[in-house]
Amino acid sequence: MSDPQIIHAGCVLIGEAGLLIRGASGSGKSTLAREVVSRALQTGRFGRLVSDDRTRIEARHGRLVAEPVEPLNGCIEVFGLGIVRQSHEPAAVIRLVIDLCESLARYPGEQDGQVTLCGVMVPRIRMQAGAVSVDIAVACLSGVCDTVVTL
């Protein structure tokens, strides 16, 4: 086990896979989290919020685990409405990290495909902040977009 860290991120659980969404304030973390959960539920998959805005992460038995932070557990920000209560899960094993960025290179470098958090290496994708990217997020979490073609 590692020392836990509290980071500026949200997390959702889709099926048995946790998706950690990082980005600056206003980059669309909460919106993407809500859209990914909604898409999962529409397609008959399990989808639920774990945390929003602040997330506790730590390594447990070689896996990265995310949990909500008090007093924000069960709360998510909805732009224009404020903070709303929502059912949530107490924890998720992170299978993918999405970093929402203001500017991206057209093609990712090798180093962009993974990130180490709390000593655990996790697959990562970088996406444009504010872009509609729910399809890409769900596909990557499902393993559909898990290869990079090098020409």
Domains of the chain, start order: 5-141 (3.40.50.300)
Rg (CA), the chain: 15
Q: Average per-residue pLDDT in the chain?
A: 85
Q: Which amino acid is at 13?
A: L
- Output the CA–CA distances (angstroms, integers) from residue 47 to 33, 39, 53, in the order listed: 10, 8, 18
For residue 113, give the nearest of 145, 67, 79, 78 by alpha carbon: 145
The region of weakest confidence among 49-53, 75-79, 117-121, 134-138 is 75-79
> What distances in angstroms separate CA 97 from CA 84, 86, 121, one per listed residue?
24, 22, 10
Quick one: tokens of 76?
Answer: 């998510």
C-alpha 72/C-alpha 150 separation (Å) is: 42
Range of weakest confidence among 65-69, 86-90, 94-98: 86-90
What was the pLDDT predicted at 135? 79
Least confident among 25-29, 67-71, 76-80: 76-80
